[in-house]
Amino acid sequence: MIGRPIDRFVDWLNDRAAGLSRDTSGTASAASPTWPIALARILLGVLWLGSLRWKLPPDFESDGETSLRQWLELEVEHAAFGVYGDIIDSVVLPNFTLFAWLVFLAELVVGLALLLGIATRPAALLGLLMSLNLLVGLLDVPGEWPWAYVLMAMWHGTILVSNADGLWSARALLPGGNRPLAQSSTS
C-alpha cells in the first residue's frame, strides 16, 4: 500500500533522468545486469540484521560491546548539531526502552525486507532515513568514520531507484509480483 506512491515517485524520477541523458551513441540503451544491486540489497539486509546482535531486547545490551544506550550517550556528548544532542538527551534517553524497541523493530523490518526482497522500496526509504540519522548522530563521535554512513545512505538510495528486487527476491518469485519500471523500458 505504502509502496505505490513510492513506486510512482521513483518512476517519475527515472523518467526525468532518462530525459536528461544525452548519450546518443546507442550504448546508453544497452542493458547492464541488475545482480550487483540485488546482491547489495541482500548484503544490506544482512548488515541490518547483524547489527541487531548487540541491541537485543529486553536490555538492548551485549557483553563486551558498546551498548545502544552508550552510543546514544556518545551522540549527546559529541553532538555535531546541538539540537540533535538535546533531542537525544531530553526525549530519547528518558524514554530509552520505547526508543530502543523502535530502533530494534525498524532495523529488523528493514533487514528482513531487504534480505528477502519484500516491500523493497519502502524498506530502502526507511533504511536511507536511518542511515542519515546515523550520519548526523555520529558525525563528531571519536573513532567513527562518517563516510561509512554516507555509503549506507548511498546504497539505500540506489536500491530505492533501481530494480533491486528484480531477482533473488520473494517479489520476483511471486506470480505477477514484479512491477514494470519506467527505467526498465530500455527501448
Partner 1 sequence: MTNAISALQTEPRGSLGTTILRIALGLTTLFTWFDNVGKDFYDGDNFPGFFNWAFTPAEEGGNGSSLGFVESIIDNTLLAAPEFFGWLLTLFELFIAVGLLLGLFTRAASLAAIGFFASLFLVYAGGEEWIWTYVLLTAAAVTVFLNWGGRFLGVDQVIAENQGESPATLIW
Residues in contact with partner 1 by the rule CB under 8 A = 13-14, 17-18, 20-25, 27-37, 39-40, 43, 47, 145, 147-148, 150-155, 157-163, 166-167, 172, 178, 180-181, 183-186
Number of C-beta neighbours around residue 21 at 10 A: 9
- For the chain, how many residues are written? 187
CB of 178 to partner 1, least distance (A): 5
Cα gap 55→97, rounded to integer Å? 11
CB of 113 to partner 1, least distance (A): 18
Is 59 or 65 the residue whose CB approaches partner 1 more closely? Answer: 65
CB of 155 to partner 1, least distance (A): 6
Is 125 or 159 the residue whose CB approaches partner 1 more closely? Answer: 159
CB of 96 to partner 1, least distance (A): 24
Is 82 or 176 the residue whose CB approaches partner 1 more closely? Answer: 176
Is 93 or 139 the residue whose CB approaches partner 1 more closely? Answer: 139
Alpha-carbon torsion angle 98, 155, 112, 116, nearest 10: 160
Whether residue 60 contacts residue 69, with contact meaning beta carbons closer than 8 Å, is answered with: yes
* Residue from 48, 70, 43, 17 nearest 164 by CA: 43
Whether residue 62 contacts residue 55, with contact meaning beta carbons closer than 8 Å, is answered with: yes
